[in-house]
């Protein structure tokens, strides 16, 4: 009996010993610092930026910490763009989740619905309203509350290689679809594996945004409020143009695939002068410059060619904003708003710019704060970015709706089916209309 | 009749020898030694599977806590078959698995035979080189293969272009993207399966080959009548592992094609990831994941039954 008791005790001991490390592993601290104690308040900033910009952000965070005598500690967490949303989903509601995050405006509707994007306090909301253009403030406002600081703005324009244009005898950038087709045919006729006009595939936004810019420049739109308008003649005309470009050989879809890093053949073929024209956003300036070196001087930017039903060039734009996690503790949220106010304020950077403005400009990305645009006026005047800045007032924001990601992928699938000849233009748009309607109605 | 396993008394012919019931002390020690493993399996396998099933019965974006999920019952499962994206992924997955198995099995047997039987120097080095592709992280070699497959300027296109073959899209064409990924998969995994085949060959007694030679069997007859039948159990395992690995393929698709172009490489694992993390439909994604789990269990069970019947 005594032996059995001893063995039972031993069994319990072994079980307990095995369980302790597991229990300890399962119970992480929330790492947020003490509430009202002497420990600093610890906050974290999740971003998808590269090492150079992360280093700049860390430098800014260090300066902010020293200004607050160590009462607030800011940790910078960086993940690749492709992992940003999944990181938010897996960590956003946990105690160790990021206190602040840089997010794509397409995600905002869902983040607000699930209370991950906290409403800005009134004074901060007023500061945002005063310092940013109205359309950008509207972009970060959901359920009548400002949800964060607008950061970068991206929009699309026609990028073309002037060396190829010269070789093909094309004198000016195309301003209409007819000119676009002619220029694309002329470049393709140069041979040596060249395509006139590149259309990106295997990347939802990379496929849909340029296409939608063409739609906008033909007087069409993706949505009318929450109802898709993909069955209109203005939209169908873009699908037909794509099919014609592929049929004529001016567009070779296999030359413009993308990969998880949003690079790949579409970038390489433009860099290697195999692609004459492509519709792309301003943010890829850094990648182009790095890849092309001195040949970057051959790259020029022009407005989106206007379609037969359009009246002027219009581009699709999207923006990023920094939100504060609604699940963070109150003192963390307060510290996060303080940090973001400072980071986006006009004293944290150089020569009247915000630190955020400096970081964005280092990537060739357009800042959005009015004073940042003024502080960086010289840099923004260089030809590549100036063309985008000029297009900004007429840009059409990509709709930020619940189900936006699904909607984009559904559109991408149909456009790619069209490009690769699996469906005709009318069928592609009918399918897209049906699928997008279904996705959006499921979210109501 | 009782069978004493401790004394080694042989069982009567035609009867299965039953092990003697364990003594209480043996049971306790067995529990002690097994409990850490069972605990780990429970925490890291059983609990996640049960949690996946539970989530699959709800609507959940993952931005909220588990307690805020909305009950959906079996709706997520019912909706799978009407989801064209899921059907496309399932079709692609089945095609991918079939192509992998059809290419892998004969190739691994052939390489295994070539590496096991001939007397030659450097066999170990070749085996190591073959196995090395399995050891290198998929992310690293996927990037290399992405460059090899690059249209127009990639090495494959350059070489084929030199002999007049142009316009193969590789990963950029819906017609060739999936098969290009299969070739990459087979290249990466073939060394592993070959090593398994070689291990199986070492289990075949040499006396059988001597007897076959005495009976006048040549190499071909020995291979078809002796080697391949005796490799049956090994091959069942190889097929099972090949199927499981192929069903689970994710990394190269995520890195190289993102399921494109035109959904031609969108397999179930990628769709599950996209549905959960990009669309925020964790309930639907869990229903897909559990369906995939059941599919894998069914395939595994079918292979095991086939093996037992064969035995």
CATH of residue B170:
1.10.3720.10
pLDDT at residue A28 tops 50: no
Please check whether residue A322 touches B, CB under 8 A. no
- Are residue B172 and residue B249 in the same domain, yes or no? yes
pLDDT at residue A27 tops 60: no
pLDDT at residue B205 tops 60: yes
**Cβ contact B115:B107 at 8 Å:** no
The verdict on residue A79 lying in a domain is: yes
Q: Tell me the average pLDDT across A359-372.
A: 90
pLDDT averaged over chain A? 89
**Cβ contact A85:A116 at 8 Å:** no
Per-residue pLDDT tens digits for B163-179:
888 878 899 999 999 99
Q: State the pLDDT at residue B17.
A: 60
- Are residue A273 and residue A363 in the same domain, yes or no? no
Per-residue pLDDT tens digits for B223-274:
999 999 999 889 989 999 999 999 999 999 999 999 989 999 999 999 999 9
**Cβ contact B289:B52 at 8 Å:** yes
Q: Work out how many domains chain A is built from and give that number.
A: 2
- Are residue A232 and residue A338 in the same domain, yes or no? no
Q: State the pLDDT at residue A274.
A: 94
- Are residue A193 and residue A302 in the same domain, yes or no? yes
pLDDT at residue A363 tops 70: yes
Q: Tell me the average pLDDT across A130-140.
A: 88
- Are residue B234 and residue B186 in the same domain, yes or no? yes
pLDDT at residue A342 tops 90: yes
Find the residue in B nearest to A414 (Cα): B262
Count H helices, E strands: chain A? 19, 14
The verdict on residue A22 lying in a domain is: no
| Contact: A111, B261; criterion CB under 8 Å | no
Q: Work out how many domains chain B is built from and give that number.
A: 2
- Are residue B244 and residue B302 in the same domain, yes or no? yes
**Cβ contact A160:A175 at 8 Å:** no
**Angle ∠(A196,A201,A205) on CA atoms, nearest 5:** 110
User: Which residues of chain B make contact with A6, given a CB cutoff of 8 A?
Assistant: none
- Are residue A223 and residue A130 in the same domain, yes or no? no
- Are residue B55 and residue B89 in the same domain, yes or no? no
3-state SS class at A419: helix
HEC string of chain B equals CCCCCCCCCCCCCCCCCCCCCCCHHHHHHHHHHHHHHHHHHHHHHHHHHHHHHHHHCEECCCCCCHHHCEECCCHHHHCCCCCHHHHHHHHHHHHHHHHHHHHHHHHHHHHHHHHHCCCCCCHHHHHHHHHHHHHCCHHHHHHHHHHHCCCCCCHHHHHHHHCCCCCCCHHHCCCCHHHHHHHHHHHHHHHHHHHHHHHHHHCCCHHHHHHHHHCCCCHHHHHHHHHHHHCHHHHHHHHHHHHHHHHCCCHHHHHHHCCCCCCCCCCHHHHHHHHHHHCCCHHHHHHHHHHHHHHHHHHHHHHHHHHHHHC
| Contact: A201, B28; criterion CB under 8 Å | no
pLDDT averaged over chain B? 88
The verdict on residue A54 lying in a domain is: yes
Q: State the pLDDT at residue A422.
A: 94
Match 């403005």 to its residue by tokens. A357
- Give CA separation, B103 vs A151, B96, B109, B218, in Å: 50, 11, 11, 27
- Residue A296 lies in domain: 155-317+399-442
Find the residue in B nearest to A117 (Cα): B63
Facing residue for A254 by CB, picked from B172, B256, B278: B172
Instruction: Quickly list DSSP for A36-88.
Output: SSSSPEEEEEEE---HHHHHHHHHHHHHHHHHTTTSEEEEEEE--HHHHHHHH
- Are residue B45 and residue B142 in the same domain, yes or no? no
- A421: preceding bond cis by omega (within 30 degrees): no
**Cβ contact A410:A404 at 8 Å:** no
What residues contact residue A5 under an 8 Å CB cut-off, 6+ apart?
none
Tokens representing A78 are: 């960086």
pLDDT tier at B311, thresholds 50, 70, 90 = low
Facing residue for A85 by CB, picked from B151, B259, B278: B278
- Are residue A177 and residue A242 in the same domain, yes or no? yes
Percent of chain A predicted with pLDDT > 90:
73
pLDDT tier at A10, thresholds 50, 70, 90 = very low
Element (H, E) at A106: none
ipTM of the complex: 0.83
The verdict on residue B3 lying in a domain is: no
Tokens representing B96 are: 């991918």
- β partners of residue A277: A160, A197
What residues contact residue A311 under an 8 Å CB cut-off, 6+ apart?
A219
The verdict on residue B9 lying in a domain is: no
- Are residue B61 and residue B87 in the same domain, yes or no? no
Q: Tell me the average pLDDT across A297-304.
A: 96
Q: Tell me the average pLDDT across A356-365.
A: 90
Between residues A32 and A273, which one has the greater pLDDT? A273
Element (H, E) at A159: strand A148-161
Q: State the pLDDT at residue B299.
A: 87
Among A90, A410, A413, pick the best mutation site for testing chain B contact (most B Cβ within 10 A). Answer: A413
- The bridge status of strand A299-302 relative to strand A148-161 is antiparallel
- Are residue A69 and residue A110 in the same domain, yes or no? yes
pLDDT at residue B189 tops 60: yes
The verdict on residue A55 lying in a domain is: yes
- Are residue B154 and residue B53 in the same domain, yes or no? no
Among B41, B147, B258, B275, pick the best mutation site for testing chain A contact (most A Cβ within 10 A). Answer: B258
**Cβ contact A195:A183 at 8 Å:** no
Please check whether residue A19 touches B, CB under 8 A. yes
Closest listed residue to residue B61, CA positions, set B277, B287, B288: B277
Q: State the pLDDT at residue A209.
A: 96
- Give CA separation, A389 vs A285, A316, A364, in Å: 14, 13, 12
| Contact: A255, B62; criterion CB under 8 Å | no
pLDDT at residue B27 tops 90: no
- Residue B228 lies in domain: 81-310
pLDDT at residue B69 tops 80: yes
pLDDT at residue B2 tops 70: no
- Are residue A148 and residue A179 in the same domain, yes or no? no
Beta strands in A172-329 (DSSP E): 195-198, 223-224, 227-228, 275-281, 299-302, 316-324
User: Which residues of chain B make contact with A416, given a CB cutoff of 8 A?
Assistant: 174, 260-263
- Are residue A247 and residue A271 in the same domain, yes or no? yes
**Smallest Cα distance from B42 to chain A, Å:** 12
- β partners of residue A159: A278, A301
The verdict on residue A5 lying in a domain is: no
User: Which residues of chain A make contact with B63, given a CB cutoff of 8 A?
Assistant: 88-89, 92-93, 110-111, 114-116
User: Which residues of chain A make contact with B28, given a CB cutoff of 8 A?
Assistant: 7, 11
Per-residue pLDDT tens digits for A306-339:
999 999 999 999 999 999 999 999 999 999 999 9
- Are residue B87 and residue B234 in the same domain, yes or no? yes
- Are residue B268 and residue B125 in the same domain, yes or no? yes
- Are residue B141 and residue B166 in the same domain, yes or no? yes
User: Which residues of chain A make contact with B36, given a CB cutoff of 8 A?
Assistant: 18
Q: State the pLDDT at residue B8.
A: 40
Closest listed residue to residue B68, CA positions, set A92, A376, A128: A92
The verdict on residue A349 lying in a domain is: yes
pLDDT tier at B152, thresholds 50, 70, 90 = confident
Radius of gyration of chain A (CA): 25
Among A22, A202, A256, A423, pick the best mutation site for testing chain B contact (most B Cβ within 10 A). Answer: A202
The verdict on residue B11 lying in a domain is: no
b/e per residue A313-340 (b: at least 16 CB within 10 A): bbbbbbbbbbbbbbbbbebbbbbbbbbb
User: Among A11-15, A36-40, A246-250, A329-333, which stretch is predicted with the lowest mean pLDDT?
Assistant: A11-15
User: Among A7-11, A319-323, B182-186, which stretch is predicted with the lowest mean pLDDT?
Assistant: A7-11
pLDDT at residue B185 tops 90: yes
Closest listed residue to residue A197, CA positions, set A297, A259, A298, A266: A266
- Are residue A377 and residue A430 in the same domain, yes or no? no
Domain final position from A383, A407, A429 = A383
Q: State the pLDDT at residue A18.
A: 42
**Angle ∠(A107,A111,A113) on CA atoms, nearest 5:** 120
- Are residue A312 and residue A290 in the same domain, yes or no? yes
- Are residue A170 and residue A271 in the same domain, yes or no? yes
Facing residue for A260 by CB, picked from B167, B169, B255: B255
What residues contact residue A82 under an 8 Å CB cut-off, 6+ apart?
A260, A261, A262, B254
Per-residue pLDDT tens digits for B104-130:
999 999 999 988 877 777 778 888 888
Per-residue pLDDT tens digits for A136-195:
898 899 999 999 999 988 999 999 999 999 999 999 999 999 999 999 999 999 998 899
| Contact: B258, A260; criterion CB under 8 Å | yes
Q: State the pLDDT at residue A94.
A: 82
- Are residue B285 and residue B183 in the same domain, yes or no? yes
- β partners of residue A306: A176
User: Which residues of chain A make contact with B172, given a CB cutoff of 8 A?
Assistant: 201-202, 253-257, 265
* A95 C-beta neighbours (distance < 10 Å), count: 13
pLDDT tier at A210, thresholds 50, 70, 90 = very high
Closest listed residue to residue B104, CA positions, set B173, B19, B191: B191
User: Among A20-29, A36-45, A383-392, which stretch is predicted with the lowest mean pLDDT?
Assistant: A20-29
The verdict on residue A427 lying in a domain is: yes
Closest listed residue to residue A44, CA positions, set A32, A53, A60: A32
Among B59, B172, B282, pick the best mutation site for testing chain A contact (most A Cβ within 10 A). Answer: B172
pLDDT at residue A247 tops 80: yes
d(CA A438, CA A174): 37
- Are residue A266 and residue A177 in the same domain, yes or no? yes
User: Which residues of chain A make contact with B65, given a CB cutoff of 8 A?
Assistant: 93
Numbered residues of chain B with Cβ closer than 8 Å to any chain A Cβ? 25, 28, 31-32, 35-36, 39, 43, 61-65, 85, 146, 150-153, 166-167, 169-174, 254-263, 273-274, 276-280
CATH number for the domain that contains residue A119:
3.40.190.10
d(CA A165, CA A183): 8
pLDDT at residue B211 tops 90: yes
- Are residue B134 and residue B71 in the same domain, yes or no? no
């Amino acid at each position: 009996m005594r032996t059995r008791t001893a063995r039972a005790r031993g069994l319990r001991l072994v079980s307990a010993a095995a369980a302790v490390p597991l229990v300890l592993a399962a119970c992480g601290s929330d790492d947020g610092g003490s509430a009202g104690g002497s420990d600093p308040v610890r906050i974290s900033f999740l971003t998808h930026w590269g090492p150079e910009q992360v280093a700049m952000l860390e430098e800014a965070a260090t300066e902010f910490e020293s200004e607050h005598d160590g009462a607030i500690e800011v940790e910078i967490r960086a993940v690749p763009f492709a992992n940003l949303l999944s990181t938010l989903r897996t960590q956003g509601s946990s105690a160790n989740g990021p206190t602040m995050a840089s997010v794509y405006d397409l995600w905002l509707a869902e983040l607000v619905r699930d209370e991950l994007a906290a409403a800005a306090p009134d004074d901060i909301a007023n500061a945002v309203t005063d310092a940013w253009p109205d359309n950008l403030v509207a972009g970060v406002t959901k359920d009548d509350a400002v949800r964060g600081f607008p950061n970068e703005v991206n929009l699309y324009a026609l990028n073309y290689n002037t060396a190829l244009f010269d070789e093909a005898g094309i004198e000016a950038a195309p301003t209409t679809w007819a000119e676009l087709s002619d220029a694309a045919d002329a470049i393709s006729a140069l041979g040596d594996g060249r395509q006139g006009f590149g259309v990106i595939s295997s990347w939802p936004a990379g496929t849909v945004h340029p296409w939608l810019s063409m739609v906008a420049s033909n007087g069409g739109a993706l949505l009318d409020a929450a109802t898709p308008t993909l069955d209109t003649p203005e939209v169908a005309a873009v699908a037909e143009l794509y099919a014609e470009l592929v049929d004529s050989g001016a567009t070779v879809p296999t030359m413009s695939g993308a990969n998880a890093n949003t690079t790949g053949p579409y970038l390489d073929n433009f860099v290697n002068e195999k692609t004459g024209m492509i519709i792309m956003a301003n943010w890829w300036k850094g990648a182009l410059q790095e890849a092309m070196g001195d040949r970057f001087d051959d790259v020029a930017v022009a407005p989106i060619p206007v379609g037969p039903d359009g009246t002027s060039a219009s581009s699709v734009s999207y923006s990023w904003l920094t939100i504060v996690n609604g699940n963070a503790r109150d003192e963390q949220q307060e510290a996060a708003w303080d940090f973001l106010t400072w980071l986006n304020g006009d004293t944290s950077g150089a020569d009247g710019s915000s630190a955020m403005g400096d970081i964005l400009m280092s990537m060739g990305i357009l800042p959005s704060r009015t004073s940042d645009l003024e502080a960086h006026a010289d840099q923004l005047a260089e030809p590549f970015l100036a063309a985008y800045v000029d297009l900004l007032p007429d840009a059409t924001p990509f709709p930020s709706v619940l189900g936006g990601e699904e909607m984009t992928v559904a559109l991408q699938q149909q456009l790619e089916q069209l490009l690769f000849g699996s469906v005709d233009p009318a069928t592609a748009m009918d399918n897209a209309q049906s699928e997008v309607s279904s996705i959006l109605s499921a979210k109501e | 009749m009782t069978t004493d396993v401790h004394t080694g008394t042989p069982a009567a012919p035609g009867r299965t020898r039953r092990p003697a019931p364990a003594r209480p002390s043996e049971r306790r020690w067995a529990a002690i030694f097994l409990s850490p493993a069972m605990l780990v399996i429970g925490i890291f396998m059983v609990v996640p599977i049960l949690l996946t099933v539970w989530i699959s019965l709800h609507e959940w974006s993952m931005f909220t806590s588990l307690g805020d999920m909305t009950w959906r019952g079996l709706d997520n499962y019912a909706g799978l078959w009407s989801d064209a994206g899921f059907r496309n992924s399932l079709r692609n997955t089945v095609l991918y698995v079939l192509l992998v198995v059809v290419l892998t099995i004969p190739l691994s047997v052939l390489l295994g035979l070539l590496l096991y039987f001939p007397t030659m120097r450097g066999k170990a080095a070749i085996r190591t080189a073959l196995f090395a592709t399995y050891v290198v992280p998929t992310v690293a070699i996927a990037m290399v293969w992405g460059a090899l497959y690059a249209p127009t300027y990639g090495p494959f296109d350059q070489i084929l272009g030199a002999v007049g073959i142009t316009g193969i899209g590789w990963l950029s064409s819906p017609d060739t993207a999936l098969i290009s990924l299969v070739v990459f998969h087979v290249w990466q995994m073939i060394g592993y399966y070959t090593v398994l085949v070689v291990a199986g060959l070492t289990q075949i007694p040499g006396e059988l080959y001597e007897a076959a030679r005495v009976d006048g069997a040549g190499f071909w007859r020995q291979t078809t009548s002796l080697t391949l039948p005796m490799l049956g159990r090994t091959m069942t395992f190889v097929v099972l592992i090949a199927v499981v690995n192929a069903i689970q393929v994710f990394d190269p698709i995520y890195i190289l094609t993102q399921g494109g172009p035109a959904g031609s490489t969108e397999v179930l694992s990628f769709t599950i990831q996209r549905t959960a993390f990009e669309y925020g439909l964790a309930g639907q994604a869990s229903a897909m994941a559990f369906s995939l789990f059941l599919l894998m269990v069914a395939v595994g069970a079918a292979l095991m039954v086939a093996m037992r019947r064969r035995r």
